[in-house]
Amino acid sequence: MSDPILDLVRRWREDPGATYQSWFLWEERLKNFRSIRRGLQQVVAEIQEDRFGIAYRGSSLETVVHSIAEQRQIFKGADHAFLWKPKLRIPDIYEHSLNQKAFGRLLDTCLCSHAEDALVSAIHAIDAQQIKGLGPAVANLLYFLHPTLIPPFNTAIVKGYNALTGSRVKLGRWQEYLAMRKGILDLNERCRSWLSNDLGAIGGLLFDVGSGRYPAPPLGDDIAAREAWARDLHAVRQQSAAEVRRLQAERENDHTHTQIQGWLRDLGLALGHEVWIAANDRGRSWAGGRLGDGCLSELPGFPLGTPGAAAVRLIDVLWLNRDGCSIVAAFEVEHSTSIYSGIVRMLDLALGREAHALEGLFLVAPDKREADVRDQLRRPAFNRIADMNVRYLPYGALAQHREAMARFGQGLKPIQAISHLLTTG
């Protein structure tokens, strides 16, 4: 008799509307890991230096959690646990300085250590503090630091785990989370050939089961129940048309992102620059070829393994001078996702020693997003942006003027002329 859990996983992986294809394989998901790590480093630094403040709104923590919550599906609502509930005085890390320090120590330990025992000990330590309102939702932060050791957490994931395993894990308790974590690792090992070392994959499976999209197989060996479950599983595929349409719309967003990168690539080449395309985007289809065609295959000054190199290599488009040795302009295309990751990558570039020839940093986004971008840049986490002379380049202006700039333009003056200087004031 086949393993019903493996049957479920196989069906789930093949479903274009399920989280495996629509979120786990989403390329933008991978770009967030480094920026979230950088954001949590800032949270820790502010706590250690007594600069964190007494409010969630406007804090560096809000900026990080917001970038997590903006991801597709399973992290929607991740910020709810961190919102200050004044009547309940939770989570008690804003007004209680000792609790805030304990929270900072947890994050600092998880930032600095890669040992499983150290991570689990840090969780036991924060649990012993009995901080009101600071429960396993914090695991959503830790997941982005240690995706192979710390699974994500929310109500649907707990429900999915209980449905698949017959457990009775309860929400809000660290001890319950740690027990579920052990079970998730065992379940992931059982399905390893169909899942991933990255626990986001099995987290997505549990989310889809717990949210009701996929029925859990019967826990017993009742043949009739197993057959009924198989029919329900088949029905999911028949009912997924709406999810597929949604996924197609999201992929159209990705296509637009690629289109803008292609425009910037062609414009940079026409203006005589060498061009670098983000390392994970070079193979995307564009204009009958690949997005990376005619561009640099290696980024001078940023070999793998050097500080900041991983982030800079993911900047959407870089223009370099004619000898290909110095970066003169950087472009981050922010079609629909948070600008947080892009800003962090630009900071890594602008503050590095290879930025001596840098003349322009550009956020490229739809015309209607300018107000949203300006609002985001007012966050305290971005207080260094004012010194970087970041400019906003709207899609409309790029579409209207790119051909003329390619024919008659020179240097960065034309593209600076159609963009707007952004400040945090």
d(CA 102, CA 82): 15
Highest-confidence segment of 21-30, 202-211, 213-222, 388-397? 202-211
Residues 6 or more apart whose Cβ sits within 8 Å of residue 265 = 275, 277, 291, 294, 295, 317
pLDDT per residue over 287-338, tens digit each? 889 999 999 998 887 777 666 787 888 899 999 988 877 899 999 998 766 6
pLDDT band at 76 (very low <50, low <70, confident <90, very high): confident
What does the chain come to in residues? 425
d(CA 241, CA 236): 10
Q: Answer yes or no: is pLDDT of 89 > 70.
A: yes
> Of the candidates 271, 397, 392, which has an alpha carbon nearest to the alpha carbon of residue 334?
392
Residue predicted with more confidence, 149 or 63: 149
State pTM to two decimals: 0.72
pLDDT at position 124: 93
pLDDT at position 425: 52
pLDDT at position 120: 94
d(CA 200, CA 117): 20
pLDDT at position 314: 87
pLDDT at position 387: 67
Dihedral (C-alpha) 109, 114, 116, 121: value to the nearest 10 degrees? -10
Share of residues in the chain with pLDDT > 90 (%): 44
Q: Which two tokens stand for residue 101?
A: 């320090």
What b/e string do you get for 21-32 counting C-beta neighbours within 10 Å, with b at 16 or more? bbbbebebbebb
Domain locations in the chain as residue ranges: 4-237, 248-421
CB atoms within 10 A of CB 242: 9
pLDDT per residue over 121-153, tens digit each? 999 999 999 999 999 999 999 999 999 999 999
- Counting Cβ atoms within 10 Å, is residue 141 exposed (0-12), middle (13-18) or buried (19+)? buried
Hey, which residues does 190 pair with through a beta bridge? none
Three-class SS state of 422: coil
Question: What average pLDDT score do residues 188-194 get?
Answer: 91
Q: Which two tokens stand for residue 234?
A: 């088949």
pLDDT at position 226: 57
Strand ordering across the sheet containing 317-320: 274-277, 317-320, 327-333, 360-365, 390-394, 420-421
Hey, which residues does 330 pair with through a beta bridge? 318, 361
pLDDT at position 248: 56
Residue predicted with more confidence, 83 or 228: 83
How many helices (H) and strands (E) would you count in the chain? 17, 8
Give the pairing type, strands 390-394 and 420-421.
antiparallel
pLDDT per residue over 339-384, tens digit each? 777 777 887 787 776 667 788 899 998 888 787 777 777 776 666 6
Is the torsion defined by CA of 280, 110, 23, 217 positive or negative? Answer: positive
pLDDT at position 381: 64
> Of the candidates 172, 175, 171, which has an alpha carbon nearest to the alpha carbon of residue 162?
171
d(CA 47, CA 102): 10
Mean pLDDT of the chain: 85
pLDDT per residue over 205-240, tens digit each? 999 999 988 888 887 666 665 566 566 556 655 555
pLDDT at position 149: 97
pLDDT at position 24: 92
pLDDT at position 134: 94
Q: Are 281 and 235 in contact (CB under 8 A)?
A: no
Q: Which two tokens stand for residue 353?
A: 């020693």
Residues 6 or more apart whose Cβ sits within 8 Å of residue 220 = none
Residue predicted with more confidence, 239 or 119: 119
Q: Answer yes or no: is pLDDT of 15 > 80.
A: yes
Question: What average pLDDT score do residues 39-56 get?
Answer: 92
pLDDT at position 223: 67
Q: How far is CA 335 from CA 155, 184, 340, 354, in A?
A: 30, 35, 13, 27
Q: Are 106 and 126 in contact (CB under 8 A)?
A: yes
